[in-house]
Amino acid sequence: MTDEIKVQNVAHVVFEGFTTLDMYGPVQAFASCRVPDGDGGWLRHYNQFTVGVSSVAVKSGEGPSTMADYSFEDAPDFDILLIPGGFGTRAAVSDDSLLGKIEAMSGKADVTATVCTGSAVLARTGLLNGRPATSNKVAWDWVLEQGPDVDWKRQARWVDDGDIITSSGVSAGIDMALSLIARMRGEEIAANSARFMEYIWNRDPLNDPFA
């Protein structure tokens, strides 16, 4: 069974003031991609870890802290880079050192994904210039200021542009993650992941009731 699964690594960026569900919603979606190992346990399709400026606890915008498993420099290889949003992005978009590290990390990923105002951070690196993207509608005007050369799509739960995929606010990251799983692993595995979470998956990226 192990030989049948090609495990992919997901690196989740953490910074002061990130939104917990932006990250942990997709964390749960990826973690729920699993099959029985035959010995009472599970084999997972994705291995996940957090990366930050240094390997320390980072306080979220909601209060609880999350440990950065690795610094940007020490992170192991990964396939997917996920950048959450949150009130901390207001400072992050002006942190040239952080932006440079995220840009470099994105260059190593097969897919870079953002949730909520995480797209504003990615936009400030220039990597979204000329490309379609979306973000949290509550912070829409502010996000647009961070990337005037981005092709922003307001009516979108998420926007999949191949190696970059962006989602709308907070819970939209779960729908985005499931759509990415479906692209990589097939609809059945993504649907099973949603079922494990008892989550009603919105499969239509244009079904955005908050736009």
Closest of 74, 71, 76, 73 to residue 54, by C-alpha: 71
**Contact yes or no for 147/95 (Cβ under 8 A):** no
2-197 topology per CATH? Rossmann fold (3.40.50)
What pLDDT, on the 0 to 100 scale, is given for residue 40?
86
In sequence order, what are the residues at sequence separation of 6 or more whose Cβ sits closer than 8 angstroms to the Cβ of residue 28?
174, 197
d(CA 199, CA 49): 23
If you search the block for the tokens 């191949």, which residue do you land on? 162
What pLDDT, on the 0 to 100 scale, is given for residue 42?
87
Which phi and psi angles does 24 have, rounded to 5°? -75, -20
Please state, in angstroms and as integers, the Cα–Cα distance from residue 89 to each residue in 14, 104, 113, following that order.
11, 18, 15
DSSP 207: -
**CA 22 to chain CA mean position, Å:** 7
Strand 132-133 relative to strand 57-59, pairing: unpaired
Q: How many residues does the chain have?
A: 211
In sequence order, what are the residues at sequence separation of 6 or more whose Cβ sits closer than 8 angstroms to the Cβ of residue 38?
1
Residue 133's DSSP bridge partners are 152
Residues of the chain predicted below pLDDT 70: 1-3
Closest of 204, 174, 183 to residue 32, by C-alpha: 174
What pLDDT, on the 0 to 100 scale, is given for residue 2?
43
Which phi and psi angles does 84 have, rounded to 5°? -80, 170
Q: What is the pTM of this model?
A: 0.95
Could you tell me the residue ranges of all domains in the chain?
2-197
Beta strand spans in 53-153 (E): 57-59, 65-67, 70-71, 80-83, 111-114, 132-133, 151-152
